Homo-oligomer: A and B are copies of this chain.
Amino acid sequence: MTPRQVHSPISLRARALACGRGDTLLIEGLDLDVEPGAGLLLRGPNGAGKSTLLLSLAGLLPPLGGEVSLFGHDPEDGPALHYCGHRNAVRPRLGVRQTLAFWRDINGPTGLSVDAALERVGLLPIAGLDAGYLSAGQQRRLALARLLVSRRPLWLLDEPTAALDTDGHRLVASLLAQHLEQGGLAVIATHDEIELPALRTLALAARA
């Protein structure tokens, strides 16, 4: 749909990364390299630490050890990543379109227009609705639309397909394919299947 555009070539590196919650160590000595155009699927049983790892990669949770770096990224350019967690940041009393426009404003209008993004995730027909009225899957779609309105090379997605219908699963796959094709990179924690050739899998073991 969009022409092939190239993100600034950034790669994600983690060296000897240790992360966990509080002082509970969940993951230790992890080395990661994700190159432009590549995606990494995080898999593992409930409680293995997938969400924790994503938060640490996003810089929202200080790692307990080791380091994460975005190789090739100039901090002056602003944040290089989108994090999309369990919570959708959708607030009742704001319209769907307003919500997305707000995200676009705070993250920079570097991607699709608001309506184009809503169209892409299938929410354009209800763009005027109060966002608090959306069904679980629709809220998830709105959260995904956030990734489209501001272009950033690295996507960190925590269970992006949660609550989505089969069509939504395909949507996520196609969004990801397009993002990777444009030179973006992604780390995705999920329990569902996402069939894409460019995805490697990293299986996290249940903690001992």
**This chain's copy number in the assembly:** 2
- A46 and B138 within 8 A (CB): yes
Q: Is A93 engaged at the interface, CB distance under 8 Å to the other chain?
A: no
Q: Is A44 engaged at the interface, CB distance under 8 Å to the other chain?
A: yes
Closest B residue to A136 using CB positions: B86
Q: Is A200 engaged at the interface, CB distance under 8 Å to the other chain?
A: no
Report the Cα distance A112→B56, complex, angstroms.
38
Q: A168: which B residues are within 8 A, CB to CB?
A: 46, 191
- B46 and A164 within 8 A (CB): yes
Report the Cα distance A96→B52, complex, angstroms.
20
A126-169 interface mask toward B, CB cutoff 8 Å, 1 = contact, 0 = none?
10000001111110110000000000000000010011111111
CB neighbors of B among A156-200 (8 A): 159, 162-169, 191-192
Report the Cα distance A163→B47, complex, angstroms.
11
- A165 and B44 within 8 A (CB): yes
Q: Determine which of B138, B163, B192 lies in contact with A159 in the assembled complex, contact meaning CB atoms within 8 Å.
A: B163
Q: Is A51 engaged at the interface, CB distance under 8 Å to the other chain?
A: yes
- B135 and A51 within 8 A (CB): yes
Interface magnitude class on chain A: 20 to 34
Q: Determine which of B44, B122, B159, B164 lies in contact with A191 in the assembled complex, contact meaning CB atoms within 8 Å.
A: B164
CB neighbors of B among A1-33 (8 A): 21-22
Report the Cα distance A136→B21, complex, angstroms.
14
Closest B residue to A135 using CB positions: B47
Report the Cα distance A91→B122, complex, angstroms.
34
Report the Cα distance A141→B169, complex, angstroms.
23
Q: A191: which B residues are within 8 A, CB to CB?
A: 137, 163-166, 168-169
Residues of A whose CB lies within 8 Å of any CB of B are 21-22, 44-47, 50-51, 86, 122, 126, 133-138, 140-141, 159, 162-169, 191-192
